[in-house]
Structure 1
Amino acid sequence: MTRGLTIGEFAEITHLSVRTLRRYHESGLLEPDRVDPVSGYRYYTAAQIPQAQVIHRLRELDVPLAVVRQILATSDADARAGLVAGHLRRLEDELDRTRAAVVSLRRLLSPAVPPEVVLRTEPPRLVAAVAGVVGHDEVLTWYADAMAELDEAVAGHERLGPPGGQYDNALFRDGRGPVLVYRSVADPPERGRVRPVELPGVELAAVVHHGSHDDIDVTYGRLGAWVVDHALAVDGPVHETYLVTPADTPDRTAWRTELAWPVFRLNPSPNRPTPNR
């Protein structure tokens, strides 16, 4: 029987610490080839070097222990690749959330620029729409599916304006609420989930958000502060109008989204200015 590699020698070859190798052993990720029953010394083989390095790389990517075990126990290369790819997608989602938080924080910490808010009247109009009750964490997926269905349903219909959406305040307050997305087209069709819907006339306080939605919450916050400062109250769901979208250009800096709240005037305060109409 060959002596094998001591844990120290194995650590030097794999560039993993003895402490890390012991932890891998205790967690069942990497069993030594043998353990001396008298001394308790651990011995490894050269064939275990790649496995140790694979485990190390997976843990560097914060792959959970249970998933690491699945990957090591799976002999099918495609299945292993699928497990790794699934975790990488979760990492990418986390990176997106981190990037969005950093963008928002930078804007919040920079000197506030007064938003260019306009007050306008939106007349009643008939649109092609898809409506549903959606959880806050489901909105993006629901929106993508609904807009794809809308685009298919209104193909060939004359476009009368940009697409939009209305998001009930319960969605943000309670985490779930009514949502409606629409396209303004001539002769709105009825097909699948798509229905003609009449949007009522409304008074809006509106501002245009520039760029991606990573920091759209900051623009919403500044719009809300403006509404309060001008003695107005919110009276209905959030309105979004997608003026320039990823479908129009891949340039994120060129994207434009109008954010608006239905408003009504509170009792006027002598210390507050009257908005220009």
Structure 2
Amino acid sequence: MPSALAIGDFSRATHLNIKALRHYHRIGLLEPAEVDHFTGHRRYTTDQIPTAQVIRRFRALDMPLEEIHAVITTADTAARNELIAAHLQRLEMALARTQQAAASLRDLLQPPVDAVPAAFKHRREPATPAAAVTDVIDVQDANAWYQGALGELHALLAAQKITPSGPGGAIYANDLFSHQRGEATVFLPCDGAVRATGRVTALVVPEVELALTVHPGPHSGDIDLAYGSLATYVTDHALAVDGPIREYYLVGPHETNDEGQWRTEIGWPIFDVGQGAPW
């Protein structure tokens, strides 16, 4: 019969603090072998030490407690391995995001000597008929939302045998940036009459004068740097007017899965300064 340990000794043996052990007991993740009904003192067996060590390892990898419970209670080896593999994949994705953020920060602190200055241009966008999806979204959902909406628009136009007349785009309300939640519209220009289906409707995208720059790569990268440089340009030249930001997806997920090839044109509304090169 395995030896029993008081909770303090079990804590020292496993490096799980007493507060954590009590919590794991309450949620059924790691229940003590015995609880004194009069004193409430918990006792654990030495056989439970390996389980506690596994829990500690998974918590160090930020695995949610409910997933840890599933891993240590399932008798299905394949299911257990699938849970672990899925969590490891999430860790790898998080690591990639961290490395990308670190590289971007290094560039901010010490810009590369061969960095190419951002290019800007002006363009008048005429009123344009389009198929569109509009919703109120949270800013953290914007990337996945626009990709899903744009894919839906391409699929609907293909089903209705309508050819897009230009790249897809989006209009983002100022509230989305200033309050982290606001209205967003993704559109796909087209000349044919769009039959409204589901959340897709026909829309005439309003005319606007824009200052523009192009961001290469995915939105999850350093697109904020492109926004910042465009805002600096517009502000320095006293061009800005009230109005929502626009994005045009010159090359995006519909064209290629290679995120390094994506090109997003960012448009800031400005005064009508006429045609010609920006100063």
Common fold: TM-score over 0.5: yes
Instruction: Kindly state the Cα deviation for residue 154 of structure 1 after the two structures are TM-superposed.
Output: 0.4
Alignment of 1:241-260 (within 5 A): 241-260=248-267
Q: What corresponds to 2:203 in structure 1?
A: 197
CA distance in 2, matches of 1:148, 1:238: 21
Q: What corresponds to 1:235 in structure 2?
A: 242
Q: TM-score, normalised by structure 2?
A: 0.74
116-125 vs 99-108, which moves further: 99-108
Q: What corresponds to 2:70 in structure 1?
A: 71
Q: 1:152 to 1:22 in 2, by over 3 A?
A: closer
CA distance in 2, matches of 1:179, 1:43: 55
- Do 1:157 and 1:185's aligned partners in 2 also have CA atoms closer than 8 Å? yes
Q: What corresponds to 2:278 in structure 1?
A: 276
Instruction: Kindly state the Cα deviation for residue 235 of structure 1 after the two structures are TM-superposed.
Output: 2.9
For the pair 1:20 / 2:25, whether they are aligned, the reply is no
Q: 1:3 to 1:130 in 2, by over 3 A?
A: closer
Q: Deviations over 1:196-250 (max 9, x none)?
A: 2112221110001112221000110011011111121133111111111133223
Alignment of 1:158-177 (within 5 A): 158-177=163-182
For the pair 1:127 / 2:122, whether they are aligned, the reply is no
CA distance in 2, matches of 1:97, 1:202: 35
CA RMSD between the two structures: 3.8
Number of equivalenced pairs: 258
Q: Which amino acid aligns with 1:142?
A: W
Q: Which amino acid aligns with 2:260?
A: T
Q: Which amino acid aligns with 2:15?
A: T
Q: Which amino acid aligns with 1:254?
A: Q
Unaligned runs of 5+ in 2: 36-40
Alignment of 1:84-233 (within 5 A): 91=91, 94-95=94-95, 97-111=97-111, 114-155=117-158, 156-192=161-197, 193-213=199-219, 214-233=221-240
CA distance in 2, matches of 1:34, 1:93: 41
SS at match of 1:233: coil
Q: TM-score, normalised by structure 1?
A: 0.75
Q: Which amino acid aligns with 1:194?
A: V
Q: Which amino acid aligns with 2:254?
A: A
CA distance in 1, matches of 2:4, 2:123: 78
Q: Which amino acid aligns with 1:18?
A: A
Q: 1:34 to 1:196 in 2, by over 3 A?
A: closer
Identity %: 43
CA distance in 1, matches of 2:116, 2:170: 26
- Do 2:210 and 2:270's aligned partners in 1 also have CA atoms closer than 8 Å? yes
Q: Deviations over 1:241-266 (max 9, x none)?
A: 11111332233322111111111179
CA distance in 2, matches of 1:187, 1:68: 50
SS at match of 1:157: coil
Instruction: Kindly state the Cα deviation for residue 180 of structure 1 after the two structures are TM-superposed.
Output: 0.7
